[in-house]
Amino acid sequence: MKDEFSFIKSIIPNHIQQQSLRIGIGDDAAVYESDSSVDQVVCVDTMVEGIHFRKDTMEPVQIGRKALAINISDLAAMGATPRFYLTTIAVPPTWTEDHLREIYRGMSELGKQFKMDLIGGDTVSIEQSLVITVTAIGTVASGSAIKRTSARKDDIVFVTGPIGGSAAGFDLLNERTKDGHFSSNELSYVKMHQEPMPQVELGELFSQSNQRMSLNDISDGLSSEIFEIAVASNVQVILNKAHIVKLSPQLDVSLEKRVKWSLNGGEDFQLVGTTSAEQYEVLQKQAKAIGFSLFPVGVVREGKPAVFLDDGDKELPLEMGGYNHFKRG
């Protein structure tokens, strides 16, 4: 397999069997009608040792926490409220029962924060590399789930917080391991990688606003996530380099590295969205009222789906960057 995204596109069913399905493959989570007032939102993600985490960069409790956090972030990107989760774990001989208890403790602590219940799963053995798969279930008011398909000309593109911090933290961990010495500033980025926080409150705010907007969570990198919105909405997105730099990791490295972390690093689990300028101002006020802020990073225009980076002098075309499981190098 050469490309994760083209493979996913190739397996999308061309016929729906269940008429209760509202959103299938192609967004952060699937949505199906539960009753006349509530839709169920379901997502699943897998973390593999050596690819998504290592023992020398994260503690077992952090691995468990992150395994649930990435699923909660997908629910947040649909505007859903988290409710339940299931966990399947494949355990090699190199992991002890104490390690596993710590992994589940990490999930439990984050689950309690969002009032989620663990309702099932499976535990199996495997020869090499720990594998954790989490399925998360949430709810949203009927017809209120936010999709990627609603971006329109002249929309503001915004994010809900700093971007690139997780990638910066991973670079530091990769260099020094979790037992290394970090300054207080460096440690803040290390924690962004080890202990990301899903933006559930903002996702709920957005879905309850009942306004036109598109939304995605930043798991594979800003360039990849906004490209998905551009394709789904059949528009072009112009990202502003100066605005991105302000939100990038404030470390003593080159400006280009900071921008690369922000565009392609991934695992920030902030939200990226688009909405009209008028509605953006409304949402910004509502976000600040509950202790959050939104940050503009670009605009939407008509045209064949594409993403560009405006550096002040010219527009540079961006590929669908970010993490792709089946591309190397």
Residues belonging to the binding site are 28, 45, 52, 74, 104, 121-122, 148, 217, 219-220, 267, 323
- Name the phi and psi angles at 114, rounded to 5: -105, 15
Taking each helix axis from N to C terminus, what angle separates 255-264 and 165-176, rounded to the nearest 10 degrees? 110
Residue 40 Cα distances to 23, 35, 36, 82, angstroms: 10, 9, 11, 10
HSE-CB at 290 with a 13 A cutoff on CA atoms is: 14
Cα separation of 124 and 90, whole Å? 5
Q: How far is CA 118 from the centre of its chain?
A: 21
Could you give the count of Cα atoms lying within 13 Å of 244 in the half-sphere of its Cβ?
Answer: 28
Binding residues for Mg(2+): 28, 45, 74, 122, 217, 220
| Annotated binding-site ranges for substrate | 52, 267, 323
Q: Which runs of consecutive H residues, i.e. helices, occur in the chain?
A: 4-10, 60-77, 97-113, 165-176, 184-194, 200-209, 222-233, 241-247, 255-264, 277-289
Report residue 40 CA to chain centroid gap: 19
- What is the helix (H) or strand (E) element at residue 22, kind and residue range? strand 21-23
- Contact criterion met (CB below 8 Å) for 137 and 40: yes
Which residues belong to the annotated binding site for ATP?
Answer: 104, 121-122, 148, 219
